[in-house]
Amino acid sequence: MGAASFRGAGFFGAAFRATGFFATTFFATCLFATDFFATDFFATDFFATDFFATDFFATDFFATDFLAAAFFAVVFFATGFFFAATLLLAAFFAAVLRAAAFFGAGFFAAALRRGLLAAVAMTSSCAGGNRSSRF
């Protein structure tokens, strides 16, 4: 049974969809195309005031190595870091799906069910509930 068979099934289907979400859709969604980048925030007087016309932007600050080296190195490093983290997350979910295909969905479903039942039993016994739990 291949990982593709889990695409629509419960927890593993959600994990598969999450993989695609973090690896592709998230970076192509309206997050980067919403009105935030087209709103008045970028058209207000803040960008037309003297702050951007002062000597701060005419000084050597923008002619130094800060913008020529360090600033762009930081930006590109951060971009690469988040891209790599996204790929690692996708690889993790792919590994989970492969493990599910190897062991079978019944094994994981039973383990999850036992874990949830044990957690509920411990919670209820701590609250003075069922003390004769079989877990």
- pLDDT tens across 102-111, in order? 666 666 667 6
pLDDT at 1 over 50: no
Asked whether the beta carbons of 13 and 6 are under 8 A apart, the reply is: yes
What is the pLDDT, as a whole number, of residue 6?
Answer: 47
- Rounded to two decimals, the pTM is 0.25
- If one compares 93 and 106, the residue with the highest pLDDT of the two is 93
d(CA 67, CA 76): 12
Please compute the mean of the pLDDT values over residues 11-35 and round it to a whole number: 55
CA distances to 37, 43, 58, 62 from 55, in Å: 27, 21, 5, 11
Q: What does the pLDDT look like over 39-64, one tens digit per residue?
A: 555 555 555 555 555 555 555 555 56
Please compute the mean of the pLDDT values over residues 114-131 and round it to a whole number: 59
SS3 129: coil
Q: Quick one: how far is CA 37 from the chain centroid?
A: 21
What is the pLDDT, as a whole number, of residue 21?
Answer: 55
